[in-house]
Structure 1
């Protein structure tokens, strides 16, 4: 990448919600494509480290020294960080549940307590490979940590509290009210994330192709609109999709793309803007497909919304990548 690349600013990779999700999806796909229990165990350990950096904003050295049994308090929803910048951090409940799911997986029983004790060079190499797959060459664990810092600030967390969360403040103890404030921010964030999952498509399922690692399917609504969906073969088997005639899939609001004109891509539909709400630097747009009663909610920057000249009644095109759908029944983090 060069200095003119829109993904780069001052020599550093610029990470936003959409790019972060692409990176995490690459990590999840890599994890789900493990070909043996031993490989699944190995990959789950790196995924565990990735999620700790993403949600707890830990330095890589802090993650690698973490005892996943002693330092994760499931009852209190806290992470104990060791070392020079020792501190106790609350985590969003959905993120904590995903960490516990990985830690307590049958394949990891023997390694529990030491799941995060991996070679830093190996972890950085895996990060770089997944970033390359997501088109984010140059993204590192530090980039994830920096994103979390900006995310907390955007959600209204005061700078001193963010400094505590990232371990930059001397003393390592939270000031009165800081932990309660963080928990409230996480609660509101999770509520917003759940609200963003209302983009559910219900219909008749048809398998087009089944491969060793992924499957290609269609989901056709009662009105006749067909959505193309790609999922991992592991997901296909786990949810018994081959035996189901009906299914539901959801798409998160941040993954719904609004266009001014049609692209020659699957899942590109013409729609009408039913409603639009502006808050700060973002806009929430409700779109109804012209060919169906199906509605989608999209969240985008206010600048992008104005570039598209969006308003109630506007005609737009909606595009959803087949791999961005998730079949209902799978618990995914906002990641």
Structure 2
């Protein structure tokens, strides 16, 4: 009875407010809700998000044939668009091939909340490598079209396999987690709303004004350069620890990225204890570009580098002293190498050349978010 009376009194008070007072009240409530949103600890953690992403990718990789692999990869693609683009399921299902410019890292969303959504370039490259396989996703078809109930069941199965609480992994929670992530990166809340395709509520259009073109520019600058951490190192790999092995003063740490890349690092036992490392923990592995070695042609049989990957050259820049090589790794991420220029020993490299990149485990620096 008391609650009903209080609600009636509140309704009477709201009806008595002027338009200016209502706008002020909405502004205060918006700020309070936004502050609470950014302090919410009930979201899906980065470790849990990476675990789910890895599980879906590994499940697709373990498929026995195209008929089994196609729906699993489609589910991985839908998860990536929920995770990084924060699209609604209905928006994902409506996507057509021309709506995806994965070379530039943007998605054109149609419908009532039409907008341009930028993606981190590393994510865009991974999506492109999957969608460009004509055997799995023929041109001219809607690549994301599927049943919403299948997506919900798949997310529930993924969450259970990753040990998440029942119901935590959903399209809504992934979209919410992305909003929190962007807010904590320092993006203004009106810009986050533009990214999510949220419409201003009644009376809110005058509360916060933000130039749409400026917001889009800020989103592209922020998201397309998004890295696990801010560092001067050009090469940063984020992954879960899958193996720890101690030998005397040294500890070998093997981490696996969401795309399946395995990176080995050697650190001291003191660093191991200070970082409190354990299997399953999310870490960042960074390697400075001068520490990355490049081999052309067939890789040498003997090498002292524990981390060796085949890559395709994307860009070469050089001056009179150094040569910068940017190459794409098999799972879609990039690696940068910086070498002293020596015409007698350096073979000319061009975009499209296949190379082998390597770096020693001692060259890998581990850090936490």
Corresponding residue of 1:33: 62
Tell whether 2:195 aligns with 1:158: no
Question: Can you give the 5+ residue segments of structure 1 that lack an aligned partner in the other structure?
Answer: 1-11, 201-215, 240-247, 252-266, 273-286, 290-313
TM-score by length of 2: 0.54
- The separation in 1 between residues aligned to 2:225 and 2:43, in whole angstroms, is 25
Question: 1:71-91, CA deviations, whole angstroms, 9 ceiling, x for partnerless residues?
Answer: 012343210111111111111
| Bigger CA radius of gyration | 2
* CA positional deviation for 1:224: 7.1
Q: Offset of 1:179 from its aligned partner?
A: 1.4
Pick the aligned partner of 2:222 from 159, 176, 185.
185
Instruction: Identify if the C-alpha distance between structure 1 residues 81 and 328 changes in structure 2 by more than 3 Å, giving closer, same or farther.
Output: farther
Closer, same or farther: CA 316–73 of 1 in aligned 2, 3 Å: closer
C-alpha change, 1:191 and 1:318, in structure 2 (3 Å) is: closer
Distance 1:38 1:317, change over 3 A: same
Q: Are 1:116 and 2:152 matched, yes or no?
A: no
Looking at structure 2, the residues matched to 324 and 30 of structure 1 have their Cα atoms a distance apart, in angstroms, of: 22
Moved runs in structure 1, 4+ residues, more than 4 A? 193-200, 216-232, 314-317, 322-328
The answer to whether the Cα contact below 8 Å between 1:197 and 1:250 also exists between their aligned partners in 2 is no
In structure 2, do the counterparts of structure 1 residues 116 and 81 end up closer, same or farther at CA, with 3 Å as the change threshold? same
Partner of 1:143: 173
d(CA) in 2 for partners of 1:229 and 1:163?
35
Question: Offset at 1:153?
Answer: 0.5
1:103 aligns with 2:117: no
| Whole-Å separation in 2 of the counterparts to 1:199 and 1:109 | 28
For 2:144 and 2:98, locate their aligned partners in 1 and report how far apart those are by CA, in whole Å.
12
Contact 2:57 2:73 in 1 (8 A): no
| Aligned position for 1:318 | 277
Are the structure 2 counterparts of residues 180 and 107 from structure 1 closer, same or farther at C-alpha, using a change threshold of 3 Å? same
Residue 221 to residue 103, structure 1, CA distance change in 2 (3 Å): farther
Secondary structure at 2:111 match in 1: coil
SS state at 2:269 partner: strand
The equivalent residue for 1:210 is: none
1:39 positional shift? 1.1
Report if aligned partners of 1:271, 1:317 keep a CA contact under 8 Å in 2.
Answer: no
Q: How does 1:1-335 map to 2 (within 5 A)?
A: 14-67=43-96, 69-110=97-138, 113-136=141-164, 137-138=166-167, 139-169=169-199, 175-190=212-227, 192=229, 195=233, 225=251, 249-250=263-264, 271-272=269-270, 287=271, 289=272, 317-321=276-280, 329=309, 330-331=330-331
Return the alpha-carbon distance in structure 1 between the equivalents of residues 129 and 120 of structure 2. Answer: 14
**When the two structures are aligned, how many residues end up with a matched partner?**
240
TM-score, normalising length: structure 1: 0.59
Q: Provide the rounded CA distance (Å) in 2 between the counterparts of 1:123 and 1:135.
A: 18
Q: Is the 8 A contact 2:94 2:145 kept in 1?
A: yes
Question: Structure 1 pair 177/38, CA: closer, same or farther in 2 (3 Å)?
Answer: same
Moved more, 38-47 or 75-84: 75-84
Displacement of 1:161 after TM fit?
0.9
Q: Deviations over 1:269-316 (max 9, x none)?
A: 9832xxxxxxxxxxxxxx2x5xxxxxxxxxxxxxxxxxxxxxxxx856
- Contact between 1:56 and 1:91, CA under 8 Å: does it hold in 2? yes
Structure 2: runs of 5 or more not aligned: 1-40, 286-306, 310-329, 334-369
- Distance in 2 (alpha carbons) for counterparts of 1:180 and 1:73: 17
